[in-house]
Amino acid sequence: MLILWIPLGVAIIYLLIRAVYLRIWDRGLSVELAFGQHAVSEGQQATLRATVTNAKLLPLPVLMLRYKMNRGLRMGENANATVTDKLNVVEYFSVLGNERVVREQKVEATRRGCYHIDVLNLMMPQLISGQESFLVLPQDTELIVYPKLLEIPEMWGICEKIIGDIVSRRRLFEDVFSFRGIRDYTRTDPLSAVNWKATARTGKMMVNLRDYTFGQEVRILLNLEEPNYRYGEDVLENAIRIAATVACRCISDRIPVSLISNACVTSEEIPDEQNQKATARTQRILHTRLRKIEYPGFLSRWRKSRVPASDSGTANADAANASGGYYSGNASERDSFSGKCSQALHEDSLNIHAGGSQDHIAVIGEALAKIDLTKEMAPFTDIMRRERQNMADSYVTVCLISSGRSDAIIREAEAMARQQDGIFWICPLRKDEEDKVIPGSIDFRRMNI
């Protein structure tokens, strides 16, 4: 008789456990995906942190996370990451009651862009409940990949030439409102230049070191029209990298930089909050038969990835900002220059006004990262003609970055060079491309890729 009660008791216990899991498995369960860096450069690595919190006593032995990312990001350490039209990532977790599990993975940024993770799917397999239960959770995770800065002698020589041209146009008088540092007093220095506080502190005469007054700026004109030969995307990407390198180099020397381009930027759609809440609900999918589910390699990572729920600061501990020469400050500073960047991107055009502060480098880098080469662009000659009219009677050093060398662009560049007393033209080309005759008033530099 006892033998008959044992299977009946096991069946009752199984049905009770199944009913409990099906009813409350998603209560107090939250998942957060976050990048450890706000922005990185091409070729660098970012940290993607997945945090699973189970705020109830019921343990969850197996949870499966699914989410998608753009193929410009590469996740080499995850064996369950597959590449189709997107990067499909699957992760397995085991969470005890009242526990938080944090797992970090390295993500390599192979291409510039603005990468979002908008939604993730959370599934509890039928291993326990006999049914697969799904939870769709909205996410707001973003990583900006800046264009790579070109560190080649040819590029730095061009930047030095541009900066040297600006320095040679400086006025002879110092700006009394600027401050560059302090140096020792010499007999030719006026008493008005003496820094009395520094003199009292050091015990010897010290004077203020000031910058020269000049109203010069570098205006980058970036042409991203499709070249008339195959595989032009590599050339356009190098044009974007050249623009980023020139901007960073000039701003590092306290030279204001503005950027105008015919490029189109990616439109950022703001998801509706009500729709997100409506989507984030548990979906029950019933199965008439059990299917075999394999969990490759996740059992060995259980204990290594566990973090006690009391360690609330662990999930947000790392805040590395390796952006490859670009500026990336704290959260408030990032919000400030992100606001500036959003103001600079007017609909589908790219027009960033002159600026020489450090956060302006990140504004330009973020704008260049959001350029979409697949969209139709405005004729560049129209932009050159408009800018030539705007630059009349102004001290602006023009840096034209264009792989296109049509007759119309050459004529506009020649007219701009006569008006501005010369311009720079950096032209990224393939090695097999032939040279064209460029007027001598233009400082033409060819960049082979």
Strand stretches in 279-348, DSSP E: 282-285, 306-307
Answer yes or no: are the C-beta atoms of 366 and 144 closer than 8 Å. yes
Same domain, residue pair 259 and 164: yes
- Residue 430: predicted pLDDT: 84
Say yes or no: 75 and 119 in one domain: yes
Q: Which of 139, 89, 91, 86 has the alpha carbon at shortest distance from 116?
A: 139
Residue with the bigger pLDDT between 132 and 225: it is 225
The whole-angstrom separation of Cα 138 and Cα 356 is 38
The Cα 120–Cα 395 span in angstroms is: 52
Segment 429-440 shows an average pLDDT of 86
Check whether residue 24 and residue 65 sit in a common domain.
Answer: yes
**If DSSP codes are grouped into helix, strand and coil, which group holds residue 282?**
strand
Please, what sign has the CA dihedral across residues 416, 417, 423, 428?
positive
Does 318 fall in a domain?
no
Lowest mean pLDDT among 62-66, 115-119, 318-322, 439-443: 318-322
Together in a domain, 403 and 283: no
Q: Counting beta carbons within 10 angstroms of the beta carbon of residue 177, is it exposed (0 to 12), middle (13 to 18) or buried (19 or more)? A: exposed
Give the count of domains, the chain. Answer: 2
Would the pLDDT of 395 be above 70? yes
Per-residue pLDDT, 365: 92
267 — pLDDT class (breaks 50, 70, 90): low
Q: Are residues 329 and 388 in the same domain?
A: yes
Considering the domain architecture, whether residues 96 and 35 belong to the same structural domain is answered as yes
| Rounded Cα gap, residues 278 and 289, in angstroms | 30
R_g of the chain, CA atoms, integer Å: 30
Q: Which residue has the higher pLDDT, 157 or 219?
A: 219
319 found inside a domain:
no
Percent of the chain with pLDDT over 70: 73
Using the 3D structure, point to which of 253, 281, 307 is the last residue of a domain: 307
Is 237 part of any domain? yes
How many CB atoms lie under 10 A from the CB of residue 264? 21
Which residue range(s) make up the domain with 64?
A: 2-147+270-307
Is there a domain that residue 316 lies in?
Answer: no
Over the range 97-126, which residues count as b (16 or more CB within 10 Å of their CB) and which as e?
A: ebbbbbbebebbbebbbbbbbebbbbbbbb
CATH number at residue 251: 3.40.50
CA 199 to chain centre: 46
CATH classification at residue 84: 2.60.40.10
- In this predicted model, what pLDDT tens digit does every residue of 81-107 receive, in sequence order? 777 778 888 888 889 989 999 999 999
237 and 161 housed in the same domain: yes
Contact 63, 123 (CB under 8 A): yes
Mean pLDDT of 418-430: 90
Are 414 and 434 found together in one domain? yes
Structure tokens at 7: 């299977």
Q: Look at residue 165 and give its three-state secondary structure.
A: helix
pLDDT of residue 6: 77
300 CB neighbour count, 10 Å cutoff: 7
- Do 219 and 299 have their domain in common? no
Q: Are residues 404 and 424 in the same domain?
A: yes
161 within domain boundaries: yes
Least confident segment among 18-32, 284-298, 316-330 = 284-298
Closest C-alpha among 222, 251, 238, 223 to residue 162: 251
Residues 134 and 213 in one domain: no
Instruction: Mean pLDDT check: name the lowest of 118-122, 145-149, 230-234, 382-386.
Output: 230-234
Look at strands 82-83 and 181-184 and give their pairing: unpaired
Reported as a single tens digit per residue, the pLDDT across 399-416 is: 999 988 889 999 999 999
Taken in order 179, 180, 184, 186, the sign of the CA dihedral is: negative
Whether 418 is in a domain gets the answer yes
More confident residue, 151 or 337: 151
d(CA 412, CA 420): 12
- Confidence tier at 129 by pLDDT (50, 70, 90): low
In a domain, 314, yes or no: no
186 confidence band (pLDDT: 50, 70, 90): confident
Q: Could you tell me which residues come within 8 angstroms of residue 78 by beta carbon, excluding any fewer than 6 positions away?
A: 89, 91, 105
Residue 379 is assigned to a structural domain of this protein: yes
Q: How many residues does the chain have?
A: 449
Are 195 and 331 in the same domain? yes
Q: Of 119, 116, 50, nearest to 80 (Cα)?
A: 50
pLDDT at 143 over 70: yes
Can you give the pLDDT at residue 166?
66
